[in-house]
Amino acid sequence: MTLSADQQNQLTQALSAEVKCAQTLEEILKREQAALKATDPDQVLEISREKQQAVEQMQAHSRQRERLLTSLGINVDAPDLNRFFQSNSDSACADLWRQLGGIADQLQKQNEINGGILALSQRHNKQALDLLCGRTESRNTYGAKGQQEPDQPGHPLAKA
């Protein structure tokens, strides 16, 4: 399917807004990584709020793009979208679509990194709490969600 100049312009604007939003989200995730490494809970909370707003904005742009493509008679399923942009590979829209896909891959990787940092921090906190509560020798098993669960109650090291 070939788009008119007006349709191409509308799609270019929608994709540009989505790319810009994805780039902003990528910057937020990098800042989140730094805050997680610095173990700064206030900064993590502030960045979390920013991230939520950026994700909501990204979803709104995605819905706008999908409505536009649907109104043009283009199926918004991934295989059909990829086929559409491949058939229009010389257009600015195709370049923006490829750019958006690349950023999406980076967002996924960065989110996995941040999740790993958070999981490590949670594990360290749990170990510290176990130590403070006298559960240093307890054996741990894994629960249904993959979280470690203590087998035996511990004895606190001190009371306040």
Domains located in the chain, CATH noted:
5-135 (1.20.58.300)
User: Which pair of structure tokens corresponds to residue 96?
Assistant: 């923006």
Closest CA to 15 of 85, 105, 77: 85
What is the chain's pLDDT, residue by residue, as a tens digit (160 residues)?
Answer: 677 888 888 999 999 999 999 999 999 999 999 999 888 889 999 999 999 999 999 999 999 999 999 998 888 888 888 888 888 767 888 899 999 999 999 999 999 999 888 887 777 678 777 777 877 655 556 667 767 665 555 555 556 6
Asked if residue 106 lies in contact with residue 27, where contact means CB atoms within 8 angstroms, the answer is no
Integer Cα distance of 21 and 2 in angstroms: 27
Helix or strand run (H / E) with residue 140? strand 140-142
DSSP state of 141: E
Integer Cα distance of 118 and 122 in angstroms: 6
